[in-house]
Amino acid sequence: MKRLGWIALALVFSLLSTLLVAWPDLLELRRGKNWNVTRIEGASGELAGVTVSVDQARVMVLPELPDRAVLYLRMGLQGDAQRMRDWLACDLGLTDDQGRVWRPLMNVVGLQVIDLLGDEGDTDNSCDQSRILAPEDGSPSMSVQAFLVPVDVLGKLRLRISGMTTRPDALSLPIRPVLRPPPE
Amino acid sequence: MIRVAPILIAAVSAALLAGMMLTNPDYNSIVRPFETRVPPGETGQTRLIGGRIDSWRSADMITFPLYGDLVRRETQGVFLIVDATLFGTTESTMLRATWIGASGRRYDTTDRISGAFRQVQDLWLQPGLESRAIAIFELPADEIPQGALLLAQRTDPPLDGVLRLEAPVTAPIHVPMLELDG
């Protein structure tokens, strides 16, 4: 009986030491992904004290490649400036019902899409820039993003957004893009 | 005899532990990406990347347009141009292509042809969309047969998948000069 007790104690210490070694990695894993996504059906929602809103979504099907479309998204972040800075970094993408993720185009093509589908005098800010450069009057800090997506997912897309420090919490908002004709 | 048994158990345990410690792989070995090998001509996919080799060519010289001029590049070895069809699977992904030569040496795509159209390192794979891309390497001619194209995420992918597309069975068509679009 005494031996069994020692064996049980050894097993307990073994498990504890494993947990102790794995603890930082478990924390990192928890912070590394959007495990807890809150789905909102309206155009805005709140995440960690910051209101996220979808202002405009426009889409254009490429005439030469009719299976794909470019999508322009203007969104706003509104809230306490310090809270927005506390996010440290934006993590955003468009998701569909299969869990696929389309990230913003961070290249020349992305800038061309924003020029093509955006408005005169549009901001050039990305999500991260809008997070840091919030207007002092408390109005939403706007940013613009461009995406390349398959045409068949256009009706199913949602914006999923989180900050580096808000994860595992994230917010998911529906996107209802307006179709724009290609330029003549 | 009663005292010998525990000593023997302790010695064997110590030897086993020492053996485990000596053969313990380092961190980089533990988190190496998983390689998916794809036979010639077939399509394969990993968690993020899918694709196949469509054709391949080699050339002694490449010309391509850059800022309105026609740029000509020569090489001390040979240019290998691999044409591939690639597709994203679950998440937008930027790629890095490497040629694994017959000797096992690894060659990154050349930077000297930057400006030519559709190069794999400029491509942003999107889920659900196929894209045609080319990967250009500069390497000795004897590294081409029995080589393989390795496609991975642009950033280091620990414990993620990399796609190894084996070279086509037929030899690449060789041309003295190849013109690429800009």
Is residue B147 predicted with pLDDT exceeding 80?
yes
Which of A3, A64, A68 should one mutate to test binding to chain B, selecting the residue with the greatest count of B CBs within 10 A? A68
Q: Which residue does chain B place closest to A110, by CA atoms?
A: B124
Average pLDDT, chain B: 92
Q: What is the pLDDT of residues A26-46, one digit of tens each?
A: 998 898 899 999 999 998 999
Q: Which residue does chain A place closest to B87, by CA atoms?
A: A150
Q: What is the pLDDT of residues B65-119, one digit of tens each?
A: 988 889 999 999 999 999 999 999 999 999 999 999 999 999 999 999 987 888 9
Domain range annotation of chain A = 1-31, 38-179
Q: A105 in contact with B at a CB cutoff of 8 Å?
A: yes
Q: What is the pLDDT of residues A140-184, one digit of tens each?
A: 999 999 999 999 999 999 999 999 999 999 999 999 999 999 887
DSSP letter assigned to residue A108: H
Q: Which residue does chain B place closest to A70, by CA atoms?
A: B126
Residue recorded with tokens 């210490």 = A13
The nearest CA of chain B is from the CA of A137 a distance in Å of 36
- What is the C-alpha separation between A87 and A69, in angstroms, rounded? 30
A with B: how many residue pairs have Cβ under 8 Å apart? 36
B70, exposed or middle or buried, with CB in 10 Å at 0-12, 13-18, 19+?
Answer: exposed
Closest CA to B75 of B133, B141, B134: B141
- What is the C-alpha separation between A94 and B6, in angstroms, rounded? 63
Whether A99 sits inside 8 A of B90 (CB atoms) is yes
Question: Which positions in chain B touch A107 (Cβ < 8 Å)?
Answer: 122, 124
Q: Residue A13: CB partners within 8 Å, gap ≥ 6? A: none
Q: Residues of B numbered 21-60 whose beta carbons fall under 8 angstroms of chain A's beta carbons: which are they?
A: none
Closest CA to B120 of B82, B91, B148: B82
Question: Which positions in chain A touch B124 (Cβ < 8 Å)?
Answer: 105, 107, 148
Q: Is the ipTM of this complex over 0.90?
A: no
- What is the C-alpha separation between B99 and B13, in angstroms, rounded? 45
Q: A6 in contact with B at a CB cutoff of 8 Å?
A: no
Which of B13, B92, B114 should one mutate to test binding to chain A, selecting the residue with the greatest count of A CBs within 10 A? B92
Is residue B2 predicted with pLDDT exceeding 70?
no
Are residues A92 and A50 in contact, defined by beta-carbon separation less than 8 angstroms? no
Q: Which residue does chain A place closest to B129, by CA atoms?
A: A150
The nearest CA of chain A is from the CA of B38 a distance in Å of 24
Is residue B50 predicted with pLDDT exceeding 90?
yes
Which of A70, A147, A149 should one mutate to test binding to chain B, selecting the residue with the greatest count of B CBs within 10 A? A149
- Write the Ramachandran bin of B115: left for phi over 0, alpha for psi from -120 to 50, otherwise beta: left
Is residue B1 predicted with pLDDT exceeding 80?
no
Best CATH choice for the domain A38-179 from the list 3.30.160, 2.60.40, 1.10.1740, 1.20.120: 2.60.40
The Cα-based distances of B93 to B46, B120, B153 in angstroms read: 12, 11, 7
Q: Residue B78: CB partners within 8 Å, gap ≥ 6? A: B58, B59, B60, B138, B139, B140, B141, B144, B174
Whether B128 sits inside 8 A of A99 (CB atoms) is no
Whether A107 sits inside 8 A of B124 (CB atoms) is yes
Which of A101, A145, A153 should one mutate to test binding to chain B, selecting the residue with the greatest count of B CBs within 10 A? A101
Are residues B83 and B51 in contact, defined by beta-carbon separation less than 8 angstroms? no
What pLDDT sits at residue A38? Answer: 95
The nearest CA of chain A is from the CA of B37 a distance in Å of 24
**Which one of A103, A150, A152 has the shortest CB-CB distance to B92?**
A103
**Which one of A67, A101, A148 has the shortest CB-CB distance to B91?**
A101
What pLDDT sits at residue B29? Answer: 83
Domains of chain B, CATH where assigned: 33-179 (2.60.40.1240)
**Which one of A99, A107, A153 has the shortest CB-CB distance to B128?**
A153
